[in-house]
Amino acid sequence: DTTVKQNPRYKLARVGKPVNLICSQTMNHDTMYWYQKKPNQAPKLLLFYYDKILNREADTFEKFQSSRPNNSFCSLYIGSAGLEYSAMYLCASSRGGNQDTQYFGPGTRLLVL
Amino acid sequence: GEQVEQLPSILRVQEGSSASINCTYENSASNYFPWYKQEPGENPKLIIDIRSNMERKQTQGLIVLLDKKAKRFSLHITDTQPGDSAMYFCAARTGGYKVVFGSGTRLLVSP
């Protein structure tokens, strides 16, 4: 099973409110990623976990949090959503090492009003 | 730099003709170049990839070329079909576990 699952598929949030997105995979992959994708733009890496180690991109460091309670699950947390957070959020996983293929989930479309 | 530029953003072709998408990257240490296809409402799926020890790879009507000197790689779809209509993303692994994506090409194959 090469499925990466994401919940919810659609999320409506109010400005200033927190948002928590969930991703799961059962492939025992070492690495899990979160990307933000806006229309007509490339998917932008926000952060990734290699095993239990979190790596956050410098320009999004303060905007997004994440946790990985076990190998299968990874969350993306926005403490206070702003209008600019409206986007598709894609989760992906890979085995790591030389196994570079990333498997993507279906995404969560977040709309902040 | 870690940017990946992808062109064109929209590509319209007739069924049966070939389609080419071009990407350039900045980091000369990049060593892995995947291509993803995303159909409407679906997640991006890997269709072909190439590593830096190769210049050409071909599978099932897809050809990828890599020119490390020019820091350029390309996807060529031969004998396009309406089912090839989708969004295509190139990407480059810039080191460690990070993969940087291009902005995507919308391919439209008309019958």
User: What mean pLDDT is predicted for residues A96-107?
Assistant: 79
pLDDT value at position A57?
85
| Lowest-pLDDT range of A12-16, B2-6, B18-22 | B2-6
pLDDT value at position A98?
53
**Which residues have C-beta within 8 Å of that of residue B101, sequence separation ≥ 6?**
A35, A42, A43, A44, B4, B36, B89, B90, B91
% of chain B exceeding 90 in pLDDT: 77
- Per the model's pLDDT, the better-predicted residue between B63 and A96 turns out to be B63
pLDDT value at position A36?
95
Smallest Cα distance from B101 to chain A, Å = 6
User: What mean pLDDT is predicted for residues A18-46?
Assistant: 92
Smallest Cα distance from A106 to chain B, Å = 4
% of chain A exceeding 70 in pLDDT: 96
pLDDT value at position A90?
95
Vertex B14 angle, CA B111 and B45, to 5° = 85
Provide the b/e sequence for A71-89 (b: ≥16 CB within 10 Å): bbebbbebeebeeebbbeb
Structure tokens at B76: 């060529």
pLDDT value at position B98?
79
User: What mean pLDDT is predicted for residues A95-110?
Assistant: 82
User: What mean pLDDT is predicted for residues B61-87?
Assistant: 96
Confidence of residue A1 (pLDDT cuts 50, 70, 90): low
> In terms of CA atoms, which chain A residue is nearest residue B41?
A106
Map tokens 């994506």 to a residue: B101
Mean pLDDT of chain B: 93
Distinct helix (H) and strand (E) counts, chain B? 0, 11
Q: Is A53 left (phi over 0), alpha (psi -120 to 50) or beta?
A: beta
Closest CA to B84 of B21, B32, B33, B25: B21
pLDDT value at position B99?
85
Query: Which chain A residues contact residue B102 at CB under 8 A?
Result: 42
**Which residues have C-beta within 8 Å of that of residue A69, sequence separation ≥ 6?**
none
Confidence of residue B43 (pLDDT cuts 50, 70, 90): confident
Beta bridge partners of A24: A5, A73
**At B41, which helix (H) or strand (E)?**
none
pLDDT at A42 over 90: no
Compare CB distances from A48 to B9, B46, B97 and report the shortest one's residue. Answer: B97
% of chain B exceeding 70 in pLDDT: 98
pLDDT at A97 over 60: no
Would you call B56 exposed, middle or buried from its count of C-beta atoms within 10 A (0-12, 13-18, 19+)? exposed
**Do the Cβ atoms of A42 and B101 come within 8 Å?**
yes
Highest mean pLDDT out of A34-43, A71-80, B33-42: A71-80
Cα B25 to Cα B58: distance, rounded to the nearest angstrom: 21
% of chain A exceeding 90 in pLDDT: 72
User: What mean pLDDT is predicted for residues B17-23?
Assistant: 97
Cα A74 to Cα A13: distance, rounded to the nearest angstrom: 20
CA B4 to mean position of chain CA atoms: 11
Compare CB distances from B99 to A4, A41, A102 and report the shortest one's residue. Answer: A102
**Do the Cβ atoms of A104 and B103 come within 8 Å?**
no
**Do the Cβ atoms of B97 and A94 come within 8 Å?**
yes
Map tokens 């810039």 to a residue: B94
